[in-house]
Structure 1
């Protein structure tokens, strides 16, 4: 994927790839690699790619997005039926045509929102999700025929991607998934369409060795697509509304607000958007966000912090607002707390407040277990914690901080791995000041042990100051001068249930496809270990996953028949959703939180991603972050 190219609408890529002959389709992946490596030149809305000395591609992107096949033109002799146009579309970021604008006009009446779907937490001995949908009353709304057809197409396309893995899911399979996503959006399934686009974006990042690629993001997006397509045909009422999603959040009047800046964070979404979001709170502790997100990468994410906030006539930048305050009149707010910037909104700068002063101090006064319970229920995933740094621990993704949080050993990881952002460097500097007590803002990560992504911290030497770890760079001069104990323990070892055995096979299937799990190995040993720890269902799911991967029927002549990708997809989906639910249960137990009112984890009510800071009250980690639309975010 070439981030220098303008985003291309999913329908455009699907149309261009579908028009290729079978011979050209076989050469498409090589063409994508060639086009992605060629130099580009931008002039206004036009981007030109020099394919070779005599051939030039042109991408016309009014408004920054290519919205029609005719907007991609090639100068070769075979145009318009050439390979170059489809390769350019497949090499570009995937556009989301329903990206909401911060300046859209609010709704004139209160929106009617469906209540969240609730369920009792399951135990390992219970049947794994996705569970069969209970029968609904005859008057309940059901999916339309078009939505059922779109869901089936999404399931088949996602199952084909899972069958092939990242190495085998080339431009042709990606185009089929984009075509299914476009059909789903037209059928009124924006959440499924958004998550399908996130799958394609993650696949392109994986195949181009993008350092920002995360296998867990691809697994989560693929799981969401399969969950929605599996459950939607039988869903009714609130569950159906949650599975459908909404393309845009309605904005409703909220009168006058007095807001206090909390912190700012960069946004890097799985669909190629970048920017910044600033979080504020009112006197009652309710959170509001102001965002500036547009197509772009890490460069735009770092630069957006110094752009003026798009709210009224204020000239405050996001970086300044995170430490100051706002007085807003005529405010409009989405259900997730995002502030609108309509023509009637007025905002002026006001005094801010320190984290240890009212009204912000009340955010840290909420007991930690209650905060985690709210996060697991889907209300928000921001945690406001007082911690003492005790050491570091090395993980597969790198080192993370270990801190004491009310007697609990807590792991604090970097929110972003992109080298253009200072998260990793700031984390390394904080690791050198063990014993320091800090007030932090973090994002909950469901895991068997208390774990969160670190977003902002109080200044190590000035409690009234704060540092946004994704935007500000710590210096050695900011750290305490007194020596800190180098031999401080990193916390007691955690006796974890071996859920990672099932999770590892789920991720391996996402990366390598069905064939990786078809080889004989230590599957019996892993299943026995899961059962010894009481994870009986997990052991059965692991065995079913291996069996579905290895089963290949033969015809009367002994030749192998095509594998049953649908059966493998169902086995993988049961394992993936069950693993997620186990993580939530173990996370709640580690924090002492209550899961009674937690939302159904199999219904991706918000992007998984970062749930995304643009449209959700609890952003997902980039790569959910969640798509900029409320359509699918860590």
Structure 2
């Protein structure tokens, strides 16, 4: 059984089932989750059945695709309904996003939280209509948070601090249930940003504990820092900053009149939650970027197939791949803050002529300097940027292929921009069902090839992009590198010896990793692992000598807070100050992120103040 085979369970349902367990059963819950995950599953309509053993079955009833109540999970064992199996099934299943509800006066349950990952949000946004009437906004903010919101923020902070104290290995189903309860409390208090961040942390914790190959510790660091930072801002901020910390329950779609759109390219979308589909990028006559998406459960297989399905917008008969090379005339358009085009009943669209990448208005996208584009992309995609800030993480560059670069994570393509900046181009998705890897390797075998490319910025200490599309090497239109497969005959000079290309990573960089690895070590192994470290004065000295005195101070404070344990009058150890340690960890994580983004901007030649990095908050 995999988590994808089970129906999503509402956060409050999982939290309630775990809270109802006796202390003895809570100790057995993680083992029960692992055992249940290995059992066979069958599906019959809205009911999913799990064979607990040869004689006992557990049923999950999910009308509408979501288990919305605790009574919808039943078990046939002798201890039911007080058994551990029901809570284990909820803990093994994906976490459902709450259904959106119209906003109203305080009291009723608030609108559903936004999706924790961008790709998951892509899936949710693509499954319904998108009109201006679908905006479920948070009521106008007051100057400060109300008592209910402050209490919810306190609960979120405490739950996140407990996860940080325990680390991935210690944050089992019980700790996750506390987070889910905090997420539900935040949603009722109209704090959708905190609720979404809590659900994101739970999803990543489950991926880490299941040894999911797609899991990255850096993602959990970002999610925990977002959760702690949002909770802190709710408790301390006012005015517009408080409104940003509260967030909005759903991306509003606003009317945008008539639009003349020109196709750029299409890219496959494959999410960790098992969704798959396509995202097609188009540009308006003024150069603004928009997207049209079709994402649903199905993974990479669906992504490959849906690219050749018709775009769901008005009377348009184009497929997504055709739209990427053609155009649309749209009336009654609705657009979300991040550029997604709505597909409501009032939207009308007909096919129109497209434009080449060298023609207006598309050609103008390649005119900006790489440093300006990188700075814009970093502002839009900063790890802790407020949602709805807008902007795109795409870069449009003219490059010359230099050859392959061998790195610890594999091989990527080295190219040089017309401005002289050398950029590393990597695959956007390594799934073998997609064409990314084969196309990149073929392009790497043809040094000297000149291309016009589109890539997604990857924040790193050197210029780095995920390659999405390029002009055809023989000048025959464009190539969607996730869908179209280049042949050797398409690439002049392919198969020749690649030009000498640098290996490894950049040198002479500030040793920011000395702080970053302690931040990640905390997430993986918990506070105790950092507290057991020896003297960190040598690392602190190295940071100071490299011009990072703040990093040195944060590292020392983090280690000291982790090791601090006070005693009572009888000499007995008192409980550790987990919330104080969380504040030190948050400061270190936010500082490391801000410096990393500044170094990334500098590698592209952007001014030091080009990236408005979010300040570290503790």
| Bucket of the pairwise TM-score, normalised by the shorter protein | 0.7 to 0.9
Q: Tell me the secondary structure at the aligned position of residue 257 of structure 2.
A: strand
1:28 equivalent in structure 2: 29
Is residue 598–residue 611 contact of structure 2 (8 Å, CA) maintained in 1?
Answer: no
Q: List aligned pairs for 1:457-476, cutoff 5 A.
A: 457-469=470-482, 471-476=483-488
- What is the distance in 1 between the residues matched to 2:596 and 2:220? 17
Shift of 1:425: 4.3
Deviates more, 1:537-546 or 1:413-422: 413-422
**2 CA distance for matches of 1:404 and 1:597?**
22
Shift of 1:540: 0.8
Deviation at 1:149, TM superposition (A): 0.9
- Distance (Å, rounded) in 1 between the aligned partners of 2:135 and 2:213: 43
Uncovered stretches (5+) of structure 2, i.e. residues with no partner: 99-111, 113-123, 381-390
Corresponding position: 1:382 with 2:360:
no
* Residue number in structure 2 paired with 1:328: 330
Aligned residue in 2 for 1:183: 185
Could you tell me which residue of structure 1 aligns to residue 206 of structure 2?
204
Deviation at 1:381, TM superposition (A): 1.4
Report the Cα offset of residue 172 of structure 1.
0.8
Aligned residue number for residue 226 of structure 1: 228
Structure 1 residue aligned with 2:171:
169
Q: What is the deviation of 1:521?
A: 4.1
Q: Give distance in 2, aligned partners of 1:45 and 1:141.
A: 45
Cα gap change, 1:546/1:396 in structure 2, threshold over 3 Å: closer, same or farther?
A: farther
1:516 to 508, 518, 529: 529
Deviation at 1:105, TM superposition (A): 5.2
Assess, with a 3 A threshold, how the Cα gap between structure 1 residues 105 and 268 changes in structure 2: closer, same or farther: closer
Give the corresponding residue for 1:192: 194
Q: Which residue of 1 aligns with 2:71?
A: 70
For residue 49 of structure 1, what is the aligned residue in structure 2? 50
1:159 counterpart (133, 158, 161) = 161
Tell me the alpha carbon deviations over residues 136-160 of structure 1, each in whole angstroms, 9 at most, x when there is no partner.
Answer: xxx9621121111111111111111
CA distance in 1, matches of 2:134, 2:494: 58
Instruction: State the secondary structure of the residue aligned to 2:30.
Output: helix
Is 1:5 matched with 2:6? yes
Partner of 1:622: none
1:614-625 aligned within 5 A: none
Are 1:361 and 2:363 an aligned pair? Answer: yes
Equivalences for residues 89-100 of structure 1 within 5 A? 89-97=90-98, 98=112, 99-100=124-125
Aligned to 2:411: 399
| Matched residue, 2:282 | 280
Count of residue pairs the alignment pairs up: 579
Indicate the structure whose relative CO is greater, using CA pairs within 8 Å and at least 6 residues apart.
1
Question: Taking structure 1 as reference, are residues 284 and 144 closer, same or farther at Cα in structure 2, changes over 3 Å only?
Answer: same
Give the match's secondary structure for 1:461.
coil
When residues 446 and 70 of structure 1 are mapped into structure 2, their CA distance, relative to the original with a 3 A threshold, is: same
**SS in structure 2 at match of 1:377:** helix
Distance change (3 Å), C-alpha of 1:428 and 1:564:
farther
Give secondary structure in 1 for the equivalent of 2:3: coil
Q: How far 1:41 sits from its partner (Å)?
A: 1.9
Change (3 A) 1:558 1:411: farther
Cα deviation, 1:426-480, whole Å, max 9, x if unaligned, reads 43343333332222212223332222222222333345121233x4444445433
State TM-score, norm by structure 2: 0.87
In the superposition, the TM-score normalised over structure 1's length comes to 0.85
- Work out the CA distance in 1 between the residues paired with 2:253 and 2:237: 27
Displacement, 1:490? Answer: 2.5
In 2, Cα distance between equivalents of 1:560 and 1:268: 49
CA RMSD of aligned residues (A): 2.8
Does the CA contact (< 8 Å) of 1:388 and 1:437 recur in 2?
yes
Q: 2: distance between equivalents of 1:113 and 1:85? A: 34
Matched residue, 1:448: 461
Cα distance in 1 between the residues matched to 2:136 and 2:397:
33
**Separation in structure 2 between the aligned mates of residue 575 and residue 531 of structure 1, nearest angstrom:** 15
* Partner Cα separation in structure 1 for residue 348 and residue 215 of structure 2: 40
Assess if the C-alpha contact under 8 Å between 1:330 and 1:344 holds in 2: yes
Deviations 1:592-623 (A, max 9, x none): 2246574452599xxxxxxxxxxxxxxxxxxx
List aligned pairs for 1:481-492, cutoff 5 A: 481-490=493-502
Distance, in Å, in 1 between the alignment partners of 2:14 and 2:487 is 46
Closer/same/farther in 2, CA of residues 381 and 424 from structure 1, 3 Å limit: same
CA distance in 2 between partners of 1:422 and 1:197 (Å): 32
- Show the counterpart of 1:61: 62
SS at match of 2:586: helix
The answer to which of 330-339 and 38-47 deviates more is 38-47
Structure 2 partner of 1:319:
321
Q: Is the 8 A contact 1:94 1:271 kept in 2?
A: no
Quickly say closer, same or farther: Cα 1:441–1:62, change in 2 above 3 A.
farther
**In the TM superposition, what is the alpha-carbon distance from 1:30 to its structure 2 partner?**
1.0
Q: Please show how residues 230-249 of structure 1 align to structure 2 within 5 Å.
A: 230-249=232-251
CA distance in 2, matches of 1:303, 1:292: 11
- With over 3 angstroms needed to count, the CA separation of the structure-2 counterparts of 1:204 and 1:268, relative to structure 1, is farther
Q: Is the 8 A contact 1:382 1:444 kept in 2?
A: yes
Match of residue 354 from structure 2? 352
